[in-house]
Amino acid sequence: MDTKQILYSSDAAASFATGIEGWIDNKGRFFGDSEHMARYSGCTHINCAECGKPTVRYYRICRECQDKKSIERYNTKPRIKWNGKTPLYSEAHDEYFFDTESLLEYIDEHDCSIRSLRLIVCVANKFREIESDYFSDDMTDGYELPADLEDAIAALNDVIRQQPAASWSPGKYAADCDL
């Protein structure tokens, strides 16, 4: 393939322009008529959309307003009584608790209240079962899995269903804890 070579010193590599107008950020990037993009590119902070205080430009709202919204969302979650066995997740502290003892120890060590933890009842993440179409990319069109492979997949799925939780994730219910 014949590619034209352009040296760094060549006039074809770059040229000086005159007679153009537009917005330029503080790093020298040209944005044409887009004042907003030039200002956004050149700034480090913007005003919070909620309270107006300066916040890092990558966030629409400041940390305090994020926390307020998070508390509001938590307070509107449906609540269920914690059974004392299912793991809990602290939305406020990004911590998981797998028993009452570790929860009470954390509260004591961090001098916080159970309410301030904003606890969520977790849901189990199980191992995924194997679908019979798992091998479809390996087979030609119209080919079906051999019966012994279908039986093996069914047996494996039976074993998978009997396994305990592989991990836990925060669920949709806030936890009512009586400790």
Residue given tokens 């322009």 in the structure block: 17
Compute the distance between CA of residue 10 and CA of residue 164 in angstroms, rounded to an integer: 67
- Determine contact, residues 98/105, Cβ cutoff 8 Å: no
For 39, phi and psi rounded to 5 degrees?
-65, -40
- Which of the 8 DSSP states describes residue 24? B
- Determine contact, residues 176/122, Cβ cutoff 8 Å: no
Compute the distance between CA of residue 84 and CA of residue 157 in angstroms, rounded to an integer: 30
pLDDT digits (tens, 9 = 90+) for 25-84: 888 888 988 999 999 999 999 999 999 999 998 999 999 999 999 999 999 999 999 999
Token duo for residue 123: 């849901």
The predicted structure's pLDDT at residue 166: 95
Residue 22 reports pLDDT greater than 80? yes
pLDDT digits (tens, 9 = 90+) for 101-138: 999 999 999 999 999 999 999 999 999 999 988 888 88
CA distances from 107 to 64, 111, 179 (A): 23, 6, 11
The predicted structure's pLDDT at residue 82: 95
Compute the distance between CA of residue 17 and CA of residue 84 in angstroms, rounded to an integer: 71
The predicted structure's pLDDT at residue 1: 59
- Determine contact, residues 54/46, Cβ cutoff 8 Å: yes
pTM: 0.70
- Which of the 8 DSSP states describes residue 96? E
Find all residues with CB under 8 Å of 165, minimum gap 6, and list them: 124, 125, 126
Compute the distance between CA of residue 92 and CA of residue 110 in angstroms, rounded to an integer: 12
